């Protein structure tokens, strides 16, 4: 009997863990050894931070066709319709499976699942657990991963590069080069298949709702290996991050708060979204973020207001306990007054191009979740479709891999090739990182123009040259290695934005025609 399938998963969020569990269940007699490598614990992933929930059709009055149409409308016709249909049709089964695995979602007094409403959805279909749904999914999947033989979770490893070999059919991914963050050991780890599930890249922007690890490492590794990146211009800004300039991070106020009735106000107390879009405060995120951006720029103000008074004290306290607690910790009280909010980078709609099974163009390489561009999101992402995608596409990736991935002829588990003397990031690296985040926010942000994009591209090139100089000069810090990825991803966003011929969804260039004609729905 041949040996087990050897698989490396990079990233320990929902997509990576859901994939590992599915593959383990499908691997059959030959089995699979699945190593999940991650810079940090699953609880620090982007998935864990997700407040809203999982979009899925759970009410008889709803239908997968309506969910599909809302997804396509927000994606402005740049979605792959077949992928959209696959994902939305499998939503209810994913929820049932999570319930079987022990997930606790909010229910009504009859014990039926509650559904919240978010932007772009014509109906309430977001299954949630208070305002900590991502954390609930991570809890369930992490527990299951911990008790599943054949899955190993290593939370102190940073993947540096993909290993790629020339084979008769072209090039094949054969593993990853990793850095142990504790010891500095650099290792070549071979595998029959590699799955990138590294999450987003929000850290390339000055203001982001993403956690510290969202530096775009998987996207950068794939690009360095020559794999195609698609739709990078489309960076979704969440309209309502809390404006708290003295805080180190940027805290999200879930869209479900507007779904429950909160409204955006100008500084004079008037409704911001009235007359802007028929869905007013629940318009697609790019529409709301641009309206706030315009108000901030025209009014010279650093934020607008989110009035939560229509929700009522008891409902707010029950449905948004984490938000309430966080606001209170900063001396803000949504139960008695409006919250100051501003847009912040939230989700990379594009990424590593894959097919509907998460397979990239490079044999042996898959990409799942936010780092991937499966064709689901198109030009903007329908709220809470990302956790759904992170549950559905991994099922198909696992099925395809279990059925079709060949074993390598000669497989060597691990080979240590050196040890880095890791040092703290230099002041220069820190300054370059800050500069990158400012350049991206100001030149490649919510509203762009040709001159600003060109200036950003020029400056990003200079930052890249400085980063390369520090690397060649011998600086070996985790901060600098992350910065190398961030610069690559930032440049990819900027350069693809410069090539976008017209405006759609999350990409808005004031020097282009106002809006694209929706394209044909398949662009696979």
Task: Give the CA-trace dihedral at 202, 380, 390, 210, to 10 degrees.
Answer: 20
- For ligand SIN, the closer of residues 174 and 385 by Cβ is 385
| CB 283, min distance to ligand SIN, A | 14
Alpha-carbon gap, residue 186 to 188, rounded angstroms: 7
Q: Where do the H-state alpha helices sit in 10-109? A: 14-26, 46-49, 64-74, 81-89, 91-100
- For ligand SIN, the closer of residues 384 and 477 by Cβ is 384
| CB 497, min distance to ligand SIN, A | 21
Strands annotated E in 269-419: 304-307, 339-348, 351-353, 365-367, 372-373, 414-419
The answer to whether 179 and 3 are in contact (CB under 8 A) is: no
| CB 254, min distance to ligand SIN, A | 3
| CB 498, min distance to ligand SIN, A | 27
User: How many other β-carbons are positioned within 10 Å of the β-carbon of residue 467?
Assistant: 24
- For ligand SIN, the closer of residues 118 and 355 by Cβ is 118
| CB 73, min distance to ligand SIN, A | 16
Alpha-carbon gap, residue 16 to 371, rounded angstroms: 11
Alpha-carbon gap, residue 215 to 18, rounded angstroms: 22
| CB 490, min distance to ligand SIN, A | 21
- For ligand SIN, the closer of residues 218 and 239 by Cβ is 239
3-state secondary structure 144-206: HHHCCCCEEEECCEEEEEEEEEEECCEEEEEEEEEEECCCCEEEEEECCEEEECCCCCHHHCC
Helix axes 133-146, 14-26, angle to 10 degrees: 40
Per-residue CA distances from 304 to 38, 47, 135, 294, 301 (Å): 37, 27, 29, 11, 8
Estimate to the nearest angstrom the gap between the alpha carbon of 215 and the chain centroid: 11
| CB 346, min distance to ligand SIN, A | 6
The answer to whether 220 and 428 are in contact (CB under 8 A) is: no
The answer to whether 13 and 369 are in contact (CB under 8 A) is: yes
- For ligand SIN, the closer of residues 50 and 401 by Cβ is 50
Task: Please give the residue ranges that form the binding site for ligand SIN (CB under 6 A).
Answer: 50-52, 254-256, 346, 383-384, 386
Please enumerate in sequence order all residues whose Cβ is within 8 A of that of 395, keeping only pairs 6 or more positions apart, or say none.
18, 22, 90
Alpha-carbon gap, residue 359 to 354, rounded angstroms: 5
Site of tokens 């999350």: 506
Give me the active site residues, please. 285
Strands annotated E in 231-348: 235-242, 263-265, 304-307, 339-348
- For ligand SIN, the closer of residues 303 and 346 by Cβ is 346
| CB 360, min distance to ligand SIN, A | 24
Per-residue CA distances from 371 to 184, 326, 350, 390, 403 (Å): 25, 28, 8, 10, 24
State the residue number with the nearest CB to ligand SIN. 52
């Amino acid at each position: 009997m041949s040996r087990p399938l050897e698989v490396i998963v990079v990233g320990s969020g929902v997509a990576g863990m859901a994939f590992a569990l599915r593959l383990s269940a499908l691997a059959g007699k030959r089995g699979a050894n699945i190593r999940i490598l991650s810079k940090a614990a699953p609880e620090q992933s982007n998935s864990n931070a997700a407040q809203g929930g999982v979009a899925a059709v759970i009410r008889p009055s709803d239908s997968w066709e309506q969910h599909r149409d809302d997804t396509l409308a927000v994606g402005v016709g740049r979605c792959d319709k077949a992928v959209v249909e696959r994902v939305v049709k499998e939503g209810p089964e994913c929820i049932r499976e999570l319930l079987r695995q022990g997930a606790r979602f909010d229910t009504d007094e009859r014990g039926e699942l509650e559904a919240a409403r978010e932007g772009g959805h014509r109906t309430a279909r977001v299954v949630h657990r208070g305002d900590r749904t991502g954390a609930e999914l991570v809890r369930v999947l992490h527990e299951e991963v911990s008790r599943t033989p054949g899955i190993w979770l290593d939370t102190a490893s940073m993947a540096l590069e993909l290993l790629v070999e020339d084979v008769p059919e072209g090039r094949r991914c054969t593993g990853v080069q990793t850095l142990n963050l504790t010891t500095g050991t650099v290792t070549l780890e071979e595998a029959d298949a590699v799955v990138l599930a590294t999450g987003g890249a929000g850290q390339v922007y000055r203001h982001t709702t993403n956690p510290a690890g969202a530096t775009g490492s998987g996207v950068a590794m794939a690009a360095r290996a020559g794999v195609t990146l698609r739709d990078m211009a489309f960076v979704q800004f969440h309209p309502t991050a809390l404006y708290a300039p003295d805080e180190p991070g940027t805290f999200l106020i879930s869209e479900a708060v507007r779904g429950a009735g909160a409204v955006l106000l100008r500084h004079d107390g008037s409704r911001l979204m009235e007359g802007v879009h028929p869905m007013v405060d629940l318009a697609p995120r790019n529409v709301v973020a641009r309206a706030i951006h315009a108000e901030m720029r025209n009014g010279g103000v650093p934020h607008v207001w989110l009035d939560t008074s229509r929700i009522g004290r008891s409902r707010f306290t029950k449905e948004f306990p984490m938000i309430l607690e966080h606001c209170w910790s900063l001396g803000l009280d949504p139960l008695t007054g409006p919250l100051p909010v501003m847009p912040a980078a939230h989700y990379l709609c594009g990424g590593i191009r894959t097919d509907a099974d998460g397979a990239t163009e490079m044999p042996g390489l898959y990409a799942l979740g936010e780092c991937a561009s499966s064709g689901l999101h198109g030009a903007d992402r329908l709220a809470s479709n990302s956790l759904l995608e992170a549950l559905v596409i991994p099922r198909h990736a696992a099925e395809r891999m279990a059925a079709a991935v060949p074993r390598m002829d000669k497989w060597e588990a691990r080979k240590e090739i050196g040890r880095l003397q890791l040092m703290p990031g230099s002041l220069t690296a820190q300054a370059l990182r800050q500069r990158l985040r400012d350049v991206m926010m100001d030149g490649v942000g919510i509203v762009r123009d040709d001159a600003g994009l060109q200036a950003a591209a020029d400056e990003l090139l200079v930052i890249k040259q400085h980063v390369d100089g520090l690397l060649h000069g011998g600086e070996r810090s985790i901060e600098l290695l992350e910065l190398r990825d961030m610069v690559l991803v930032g440049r990819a966003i900027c350069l693809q934005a410069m090539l976008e011929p017209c405006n759609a969804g999350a990409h808005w260039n004031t020097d282009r025609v106002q809006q694209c004609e929706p394209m044909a729905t398949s662009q696979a």
